[in-house]
Structure 1
Amino acid sequence: MVIAVIVGAIWWLENRRGEGTSPSGEEYGPRELAAALVPPGMEVGTDEGKLAPNFLLETLDGKEMRLSDLRGQPVVINFWATWCQPCRKEVPELVAAYNSYRERGLVILGVNLQEGKGIVRPFAEDFGMNFPILIDRDGEVGDEYRVLGLPTTYFVDRDGVVRSVFTGPFIEKGQGANVQGAIEENELQKRIDQILN
């Protein structure tokens, strides 16, 4: 009986919803950009040409990550879920892109929407996701980024500016006929090149 209670408590801690509080005492979720990071005349928003909204989320390995800390690096923010079949199809392309471009400073953030670590960790391991996985347990960051379908991917340049947004999977060449809204990996490469330069 005691073992069942302990196992149940561990499962609940790993899979509960709600953002919670970071080790630094801050709430996880959307965050204001510091005034010093917003140049005169720039707006914060999710449209192309605007500064990407800041956020603080917990990583799969228990650390915290703030988007604004990545200023100076090109960032791909990919919103996904384990149950999303198109997300599953595009993971190999994202892993390949990360492996190809990380030496040039590219950061890919896989932002999981509304699932606990106990669900996300085995998925990430099975798919070889070697880039940071962030947990948006209550979906606040997804809401801030106006994520209406999965996967949704934002391409943010070194200055923190959204350069493009795509909803749908980046998939292996030749699979496009099978997945509605899919684009081939050369499009992923084009969009990454846009934020690297």
Structure 2
Amino acid sequence: MKLREPMPELNGAVEWLNGQVTREGLVGTKPTLIHFWSISCHLCKKAMPQINQFLDDYRDRLNVIAVHMPRSENDQNIEEIKHDASFHGINHPIIVDSNMTITNAFDNKYVPAYYIFDKDGQLRHFQAGGSGKTMLEKRVIRLLDETEKTK
């Protein structure tokens, strides 16, 4: 995806965990962070405690959605995904994207990967990799501040 492109539809999930949302339900409310992860991704698991804390700090001002992107056939075990999500404290909605429908709509190739959309659903920041939490947080805070000023 390129900056300022609209958020893709969130259709095609094999299963939803922790609730279900739609693009229409997100756009127009508040900024949205969509993060891609996988149960076979060591960097995802290592970053999850910091990401969860960061997300908890901004939950009232930011929509947060996770997309589980399989990297192998072993990553498609729903019970294992549920176990890892629970173990790592992921309590926001999770799209189980075993058919890669949403992953392909985002043209995403990485885990972890983070997409930040403004409240109008336009992509404002993309970041991939296990490091860079500081940059991610700065971008989210900047967008949240912009959103507050336009109210």
Which structure ranks higher in relative contact order (CA pairs < 8 Å, sequence separation ≥ 6)? 2
The whole-number CA distance in structure 2 between the counterparts of 1:64 and 1:129 is 14
Q: 1:84 aligns with which of 41, 44, 55?
A: 41
What amino acid maps onto 1:195 in structure 2?
Answer: L
Residue number in structure 1 paired with 2:73: none
The whole-number CA distance in structure 1 between the counterparts of 2:77 and 2:140 is 29
Q: 2:65 aligns with which of 106, 109, 132?
A: 109
What amino acid maps onto 1:55 in structure 2?
Answer: L
In structure 2, the gaps of 5 or more residues are 71-75, 147-151
Alignment of 1:1-197 (within 5 A): 46-56=1-11, 57=13, 58-61=15-18, 63-71=19-27, 72-104=29-61, 106-114=62-70, 115-169=76-130, 182-183=131-132, 185-196=133-144, 197=146
- Write the deviation string for residues 32-71 of structure 1: whole angstroms up to 9, x where unpaired: xxxxxxxxxxxxxx2111111112234214x532122111
DSSP-derived class of the 1:153 partner: strand
The whole-number CA distance in structure 2 between the counterparts of 1:77 and 1:162 is 10
Ranges of 4+ aligned residues in structure 1 off by more than 3 Å: none
Task: From the CA coordinates, give the structure whose radius of gyration is larger.
Answer: 1
In structure 1, the gaps of 5 or more residues are 1-45, 170-181
Q: 1:186 offset after TM fit, Å? A: 2.1
What amino acid maps onto 1:132 in structure 2?
Answer: P
The whole-number CA distance in structure 2 between the counterparts of 1:138 and 1:77 is 18
Q: Could you tell me whether the CA contact under 8 Å between 2:4 and 2:124 is conserved in 1?
A: yes
Q: Could you tell me whether the CA contact under 8 Å between 1:75 and 1:109 is conserved in 2?
A: yes
Percent identical across equivalent pairs?
Answer: 25
- What TM-score results when the alignment is normalised by the length of structure 1? 0.65
The whole-number CA distance in structure 2 between the counterparts of 1:76 and 1:110 is 8
